[in-house]
Amino acid sequence: MSPRWQRRARRRTPARRLVLFVAAVIVTALLVGGLTQVARQSQGYDANSNKALAAQGAVLAAQSDATSRSVRALMGDLTTLPRQSVQAALDGAVQQTASQSQQAALATAAIPPASPGTELAAVFAERAQSVADLRGALDGLLGMTPSSPAGAGASTASASGSADQTPTLSAAEAADRITAAGALMARSDALYRSVRRTLGTSAGRARLPRSVWVTDPGLWQPGNVASLVDQIAASPTLQSSHYVVLRTVRLTPPALPSPPGASATAAVLSPTTQLGVTAVLANQGASAEPTVHTTFTLADQASGSTVTKTVTTALGLDGSRTLPTVVFAVVPGSTYLLTVQVVPPPGQALTNGTVYQLALRISPAT
């Protein structure tokens, strides 16, 4: 290369470096500006998301606090309440907290796992679990059974069926489970406080109201719980009693009106080859009945032959249930003795309210 070209190259090199430097500065500025804009947009999104979460959490917290007040009132009055009231209060609290947990899970389903939303959902899930555990402990101690879900029906069979029943617990076992339920409630309170602090210091500074289930930790300590369990076991209002009765029995076809002055030795039915019998049971005792058997027997008065069918169902406290219709084959012109009997649960005597008998005659076919 000639000396002249070398001098020109030396003059162009600083200029090229300057151009490259300016270009790098511009690119860096654009990148920083873009990242800053993204950060600002992200902060705006996080702020709105946190505020929405706090608004949903406030609604659930209000519902949860109302349930917690009812649970505290129940625990304070437990030894003076009748079994029916205790079971109804426990079932109601379980249903309410389960609903709150489901709502929290749905409200936070689309939120990233690292956000406060997952912890908020865990708060209501733990409260639901603690109430379910509390009900299980008290049901096991008192021999109670949760109310049957809506729509639960009865079964018709020649052999008896069975229904789920809460396992019986000793006083020590029940005390341990109640204590554990209280500890889970306290843990949910601590987790809720953590979520509340996080939202208050994060983008948007969302405000979540206070929500507390355990207002007196001493009540859930082992010694106090053991004393409460002893009082429950000795409470006369919480003792078990059984009394299932037949409320009504209906026939299909129905009995015909008796003529004036005629002796009512037997109910008269229209000519038919099928007799339908429908019974309604009622639980008037102080215990839920997970398994109640009702027998339907039709005896032919001429031949002496009998047909027996059994219906098995469950009855909650203060519950009643219409059993499925039992159908018998009959012969027109024949006379039968119908007997419907509730098999008394253990501890209940056989009374007039558990047995229904009716002599009936099927009119001859015309």
Reported as a single tens digit per residue, the pLDDT across 133-177 is 999 999 999 888 786 554 444 444 433 333 345 678 999 999 999
Residue 264 domain-assigned? yes
Residue 14 domain-assigned? no
Q: What is the pLDDT of residue 107?
A: 82
User: For residue 326, what are its two tokens?
Assistant: 């039992």
Q: Which of 223, 238, 253 is the last residue of a domain?
A: 238
Residue 351 domain-assigned? yes
Q: Are 301 and 144 in contact (CB under 8 A)?
A: no
Residue 1 domain-assigned? no
Q: Which of 190, 217, 238 is the last residue of a domain?
A: 238
d(CA 316, CA 285): 10
For every residue of 290-340, which 3-state class applies, written as one string?
EEEEEEEEEEECCCCCEEEEEEEEEECCCCEEECCCEEEECCCCCEEEEEE
Q: 55 and 73 in one domain?
A: yes
d(CA 75, CA 55): 31
Reported residue count of the chain is 366
For every residue of 35-73, which 3-state class applies, written as one string?
HHHHHHHHHHHHHHHHHHHHHHHHHHHHHHHHHHHHHHH
The H-or-E segment that residue 221 falls in is none
Q: If you search the block for the tokens 């865990």, which residue do you land on?
A: 122
Q: What is the pLDDT of residue 363?
A: 93
Q: 75 and 166 in one domain?
A: yes
Q: Which of 206, 238, 270 is the last residue of a domain?
A: 238
Q: Give the dihedral sign, CA 76/80/83/89.
A: negative
Q: 357 and 280 in one domain?
A: yes
Residue 28 domain-assigned? no
Q: Are 317 and 87 in contact (CB under 8 A)?
A: yes
The CATH number of the domain holding residue 294 is: 2.60.40.10
Q: What angle do CA 220, 225, 231 make, to 5 degrees?
A: 140
Residue 25 domain-assigned? no
Domain assignment of residue 261, given as a range: 244-362
Low-confidence ranges of the chain (pLDDT < 70): 1-46, 110-115, 147-166, 203-204, 259-264, 350, 352
The one-letter amino acid at 62: A
Residue 20 domain-assigned? no
The phi and psi torsions of 229 (rounded to 5 degrees) equal -60, -40
d(CA 78, CA 233): 11
Residue 17 domain-assigned? no
Q: What is the pLDDT of residue 67?
A: 97
Q: What is the pLDDT of residue 272?
A: 96
Other Cβ atoms within 10 Å of 45 Cβ, number = 12
The total of structural domains in the chain comes to: 2
Measured distance between the N- and C-terminal CA atoms of the chain, rounded to whole angstroms? 134
d(CA 79, CA 141): 13
The phi and psi torsions of 239 (rounded to 5 degrees) equal -70, 150
Q: 311 and 279 in one domain?
A: yes
User: DSSP letter string over 146-158?
Assistant: PPPPTT---EEES
